[in-house]
Amino acid sequence: MPNKPVSTWEDSREEFIAQWGALGSNWGINRTMAQIHALLMTAPEPMYTDEIMQRLHISRGNANTNLRELNGWGLIRLVVKKGERREYFEAEKDVWKMFIIIAKERKRRELDPALGVLKGCAEQTKGENAGPGRDFHRQMKELQEFVEFGMKVSDTVAGMKHASALQWAIKLLG
């Protein structure tokens, strides 16, 4: 059977999937996980594992591991189709919800542990009264306060409705 011509949107979709994968690497998630997310995010219908494997040229183990991880993040969900034994997956397509999910997950995985280190260092050096020890303690406290402030801002924005957050951002940037 001859290959059917690929439409313009499919070419663009392939470019998006490749670039989303590259961006994912910069954001601290693996390329394949980001590519699966991009594929499902742009899929007109839920997809099953074999389709994902074939489309991205990845192994079953790689697909299953990354599908579990994306599901754990809440970025994709399992879809049951009546009369089908296969497991289908679809991505969250609401951009605001995706942003909130990713922000919360990154906070849990990255900022919470960093804040724990800063608090520990500040606590261990609170008795330093002079010289480099005092300077180190002050630096740790300032970093702790900055991270806590950033987390409060992030939590506030994540708790807002999309329209409210946009209005707030427009005021902030205007």
24, 75: one domain: yes
123, 157: one domain: yes
pLDDT digits (tens, 9 = 90+) for 69-99: 999 999 999 999 899 889 999 999 998 888 8
Asked whether residue 156 is domain-assigned, the answer is: yes
Domain boundary among 37, 66, 91: 91
Given a cut of 60, is residue 2 above it in pLDDT?
no
Asked whether residue 2 is domain-assigned, the answer is: no
pLDDT digits (tens, 9 = 90+) for 4-60: 565 788 899 999 999 999 998 877 789 999 999 999 999 999 999 999 999 999 999
Asked whether residue 129 is domain-assigned, the answer is: yes
H or E element in which residue 78 lies: strand 76-79
